[in-house]
Amino acid sequence: MEFTIINNKKTEQLSLKKNLTIKELLDEIEKPLETVVIKKNGHIVLEEEIINEGDTIEVIQIIYGG
């Protein structure tokens, strides 16, 4: 399954064997949930949200330092 990730304004195409949740994705890219807001296809979503084929996931870092 393929999806688009916009992280730190860089857009990338990722392909994975199985569907991940937002939380699993954040663990994967080593971003603590407390410091980011996640949008899926333009809407803010919770960590339990599942990423599906063709989704666009935007990682917005809202807390820096510490």
Site for other proteins, rule CB under 8 A:
34-35, 37, 39, 43-46, 60-66
**Shortest distance, position 18 Cβ to other proteins, whole Å:** 24
Q: Which is nearer to other proteins, 29 or 37 (CB)?
A: 37
DSSP calls for 31-53: --GGGEEEEETTEE--TTPBP-T
Q: Which is nearer to other proteins, 25 or 59 (CB)?
A: 59
Alpha carbon distances (Å) from 11 to 14, 16, 41, 62: 10, 16, 14, 18
Amino acid identity at 4: T
Q: Which is nearer to other proteins, 29 or 63 (CB)?
A: 63
